[in-house]
Chains A and B, each alone.
Chain A
Amino acid sequence: MAIEKPLSEMPIGTVGTVIENGLTGLTKRRLMDLGFIPGSKIEVLRKSPAGDPTAYYVRGTIIALRNNEASHISIIPHNKF
């Protein structure tokens, strides 16, 4: 059984599917508009030198998120995109 994990804890190179966007209000809405919705395929591309923010590939574009946002997004990792 695959287990949901917070996106913020995924190492570079992880690919997975978004299960839940657990944010609220405007931040939730903004991340939904950027493609962080259940079912979206996602890849962890790289981290900034300080480790935050992190760049993700989602729905055809690269989007950077702060860890305090990514920690509310859960994904199920899988083997390939």
Chain B
Amino acid sequence: MGYSCKSCKKCMLKDNFNITKDKDGLVIALAGNPNTGKSTIFNALTGLNQHTGNWPGKTVLQAQGTCIIKGKKCTLVDLPGTYSLLANSIDEVVARDFLCFAKPDATIVVTDATCLERNLNLALQVLEITDKVVVCVNLMDEAERKGIKVNTDLLAAELGVPVIPTSARSKQGLDELISMVYELATGNITSNPNPIPYDQDLEEAIQELQPQIEALLKGRLNSRWVALRLIEGDEELLEGIKNYLSQEELEEDRVEEKCAQ
């Protein structure tokens, strides 16, 4: 592997995740349960501008592609479909590490309107890691056929992030989705996910841990979420922190100018 500067975001993304980020470009992740239409959305948005490979060092398929949104080049990353992000499997480690350490500018959580309840488990887990999330309720046509109505406004209010209904196979709602993603990724709008309250004993343990974690991580990961993972005994996450954070030590905004590549 050739020389690469360890401190800029562009090289960090390239080295660790094999993601090419354009200067001023945006990185958008697609997360969701298997079979919710992630790849359909990914294909509709990137067309032929995509390529597949493996995640660095893993035998997990990686699909990335580009599209232009309002003049900005966006790199879309189709994450492995999972039911959880708690590192039960290699797919979950890949998806979780990307959200935690590659820090995409926005994440689309694709959900299945016909079994939302199941899908919200993952959506809530993503929202504990990052607040730059748009929830896409896909397969709306299928839901309608089954007589299922989804109140996306209410869902958005409950979750505290934008919710966009789509039927990706017939390309319905994708313009709205992408323009919401753009607004969120560029900071034109901010979201404010409602924190998930846990039992009192857990909340007390979180309160005890969180300040110490915050002092160490200085905002690089959501300290409440890290506290929860430590309480649960998640060794995988410690592994991820060791792998990725030392390189990112320096302010991640001190970017491209200093890097020759």
Contacts and interface: CB of A to CB of B under 8 A. Distances in A.
Interface size band for A: 10 to 19
Interface in A35-64: 35, 59-61
A77 to B, nearest CB: 22
Contact of B86 (A33, A59, A60): A33
B120 to A, nearest CB: 10
Contacts of B121: 33, 35
Interface stretch (B13-21, B23-31, B111-119, B181-189): B111-119
A60 B84 contact: no
B225 to A, nearest CB: 15
A33 B83 contact: yes
A14 B84 CA distance: 27
Given A29-B88, A29-B232, A33-B121, A60 B115 contact: yes
Interface in B37-87: 83-84, 86
Contact of B115 (A30, A33, A61): A61
B118 A29 contact: no
A59 B118 contact: yes
Interface size band for B: 10 to 19
A12 interface: no
Given A26-B88, A29-B88, A33-B121, A60 B114 contact: yes
A4 to B, nearest CB: 23
Contacts of B83: 33-34
A81 to B, nearest CB: 14
B109 to A, nearest CB: 15
Nearest to A37: B121
Contacts of A61: 115, 118
A26 B86 CA distance: 9
Nearest to A25: B233
A17 B83 CA distance: 21
18 contacts: A25-B233, A26-B88, A29-B84, A29-B88, A29-B232, A30-B84, A30-B86, A30-B88, A33-B86, A33-B121, A34-B83, A35-B118, A59-B117, A59-B118, A60-B115, A60-B117, A60-B118, A61-B115
Shortest 6 CB-CB contacts between residues of A and residues of B: A60-B115, A33-B84, A59-B118, A30-B88, A33-B83, A60-B118
